[in-house]
Structure 1
Amino acid sequence: MLKVRAVCLNHRDLLMIQGTYGPRRPEHRVPVSDGVGEVLHVGAGVAGFSVGDRVICPHFATWLDGAFDLRYFGEDLGITQDGWLAEQIVVPAQSLVKVPDALTDSQAAALSAAALTAWNALVDVGQIKAGDLVLALGTGGVSIFALQLAKLHGARVAITSSSDQKLSQARKLGADITINYRTHPNWAAELLNANGQRGADIVVETGGLATLASSIAAAAPNGRLALIGALAATPAEGAPTLDNLFGIVGKNLTLRGITAGNRRMLQSLVNAISVGNIEPVIDKELSFDEAPEAYRHLLGGHHLGKVLIRVSD
């Protein structure tokens, strides 16, 4: 059993309470997939954890290692099982990852969903290496973590937004190329112009069908596209056509769906965050009683990075 200290919201949390993230969930379902807790009680036979330890876990609580399997949806915290937006939560001990003393609650609370998804996209799928160009769409939680983690690996980063102010903040975080997609609707061509007509080696594709055609155009030969979300718009506004088939085949692209990550990846991520001393970008922090306001702030779409809810000290 864990005492919840802090949680961070993700887009999936919005969709869950709106009833649009798969089947409608029971009204009593406790939401939120991302948080950090303190061990209050350790079950019989559990080793490696003590009362007082701070811990996190992947939201697919039983996905410990290896390839993804559909059965993991049955243990999806905040969706098919009760999640983190509570004073206490019970999770399997085998799922837990200890939080090092060097990491704050704010650093740890944001890791298990958005950061873990970005890690999977860049490291396990993208096989990132120094010198790669990573393209991240937008400035939400996954994209900002992708920016920070890519820089930690010695990669260059291009990022898009409709806000010049957000792009300015992204440059302060290390972005090498910033593109306002409202000013430059053909942002794929803008990226090529900014990078000597070579595209991105890894594309963190959070927009979905509305942006996928442009992401294919923006990818370099042998590029890896990690398909993560559908935040941009309806498919009719920019869905790929058969014309894009040449881009996929002709450039030998890899398109891979990303469903967060497993416990092994999360442990590697925690190690990297500790060594690199990465500070998650927290757009707004609210109290447990202000949770509805936190959801409204995320829904507004004006945030950069994460929205955090402080549950306890």
Structure 2
Amino acid sequence: MKAFQIGQQNGIEALAATSRPDPVAGPGQAIVAPRLISLNNRDVQIIRGSYGARKPDERIPVSEGVGEVLSVGEGVTQVKPGDRVISGHFVNWAGGDFGYHAFGHDIGVTHDGWLAEKVAIPAASLIRVPDAIGDEDAAALAAAGLTAWNALVEVGKVKAGDLVLCLGTGGVAIFALQIAKANGARVAITSSSDEKLELARQLGADITINYRTHADWAAELMAQTGNAGADIVIETGGQGTLSQSIAAAAVNGRVIIIGVTAGQSMALPNYGTIIGKNLTLKGIANGSRAMLVALVRAVETNGIKTVVNKVFPFDQAPEAYAYLAAAGHVGKVMIQL
């Protein structure tokens, strides 16, 4: 079968086309033929060698997609050939509280991922996709969508009337915007591009802030909210934006820390604000299978549509990576087989 491997992890150019034997379903496994694959920022970090420890050069990357079950191994009753399925990338986290066990089987990291014509996945982690949810709307649910769901619903306890602040217009931020609106919340969103902010407004954003025009975007948010701030901050920027996220938070606000991309400064000049506002700062890592089941149900019920920026053919996977890395997109970048 055709596949891509991460190679020496020294940049986008390391991603290499390869050929592998077709996988065979072992006990408890299903063989899935990906139909549409969704890229995430961590996929770029992996290929650049900046996502944890070095991975084997032959690792097949990418943590999420939607595909069709081709065959199943001994003992599999959860799915059958012909089922359209997705899977969370933390295979071992079925439900309950997060634990380090989640990292033991991480699709696209510890085990081969979706960037191949066929992939072997533990059947217990697979979730059937309802007919009402199309491939484009399903492909990005297991990573970007699930992370946004965990941040907003499981940790943030979003409710009608809350103000949710999303940083940027990447996959997690756009899903967070849509999930927040489905829950009756208001949404503020930041970007360096007025064009991207216009698209966010079309999706329902109530407050938009260009952080190039307003470098102190936290102060601008406070000005636009009568100094109330955001009840929930979806912190996808990283250490370089955390200080402003704290400044932008409301009293008793929740800052959900996801991102690791915007700088590495550990300095928090407003450290005392965490106490003064009685803030909750919570780091999260994706979510469990049980959360993904709830998200799929919410997407089906509310008709939430994945915002897809561009779809590349499978043979142009390196170009898809480069396009995502350029950060000019709004929503998701995908690869089609």
Q: So what's the TM-score if we normalise by structure 1?
A: 0.96
User: Are the aligned partners of 1:212 and 1:240 in contact in 2 as well (CA < 8 Å)?
Assistant: no
Partner of 2:327: 301
Partner of 1:249: 275
Return the structure number with greater helix share: 1
Instruction: Say whether residues 1:226 and 2:251 are aligned partners.
Output: no
**Matching of residues 265-280 of structure 1 within 5 Å:** 265-280=291-306
Partner of 2:244: 214
Mapped partners of 2:237, 2:79: distance in 1: 39
Give CA-to-partner distance per residue, 1:6-62, whole Å, 9 cap, x none.
100000000111111111111110000011111111222222322111111110111
Partner of 1:108: 138
Give the RMSD, CA atoms, in angstroms: 0.9
Q: 1:231 offset after TM fit, Å?
A: 2.2
Partner of 2:50: 20
Deviates more, 1:121-130 or 1:60-69: 60-69
Q: 1:71 offset after TM fit, Å?
A: 2.4
Equivalent residue in structure 2 for 1:140, among 167, 170, 176: 170
Partner of 2:228: 198
Partner of 1:130: 160
Mapped partners of 1:249, 1:2: distance in 2: 49
Mapped partners of 1:49, 1:23: distance in 2: 34
Mapped partners of 2:267, 2:40: distance in 1: 26
Greater relative contact order structure (CA < 8 Å, 6+ sep): 1
Mapped partners of 2:243, 2:152: distance in 1: 20
SS in 2 for 1:91: strand
Deviates more, 1:65-74 or 1:298-307: 65-74
User: Are the aligned partners of 2:164 and 2:180 in contact in 1 as well (CA < 8 Å)?
Assistant: yes
Equivalent residue in structure 1 for 2:96, among 54, 63, 66: 66
SS in 1 for 2:82: coil
User: Are the aligned partners of 1:207 and 1:231 in contact in 2 as well (CA < 8 Å)?
Assistant: yes
Mapped partners of 2:106, 2:238: distance in 1: 22
Give CA-to-partner distance per residue, 1:134-178, whole Å, 9 cap, x none.
000000010011001100111000000000000000000000000
Partner of 1:291: 317
Instruction: Say whether residues 1:235 and 2:264 are aligned partners.
Output: yes
Instruction: Say whether residues 1:170 and 2:196 are aligned partners.
Output: no
Tell me, which stretches of 5 or more residues in structure 1 are unaligned?
none
- After superposing on structure 2, the runs of 4+ consecutive aligned residues of structure 1 that deviate more than 4 Å are none
Task: Give, as a single letter, the amino acid of the residue that structure 2 aligns with 1:142.
Answer: V
Mapped partners of 1:231, 1:193: distance in 2: 27
SS in 2 for 1:40: strand
Partner of 1:11: 41
Task: Give, as a single letter, the amino acid of the residue that structure 1 aligns with 2:287.
Answer: G
Q: 1:70 offset after TM fit, Å?
A: 1.4
Paired positions, count: 307
Return the structure number with greater strand share: 2
Mapped partners of 1:39, 1:265: distance in 2: 22
Task: Give, as a single letter, the amino acid of the residue that structure 2 aligns with 1:124.
Answer: E
Partner of 2:121: 91
Q: 1:195 offset after TM fit, Å?
A: 1.1
**Matching of residues 42-53 of structure 1 within 5 Å:** 42-53=72-83
Mapped partners of 1:126, 1:279: distance in 2: 22
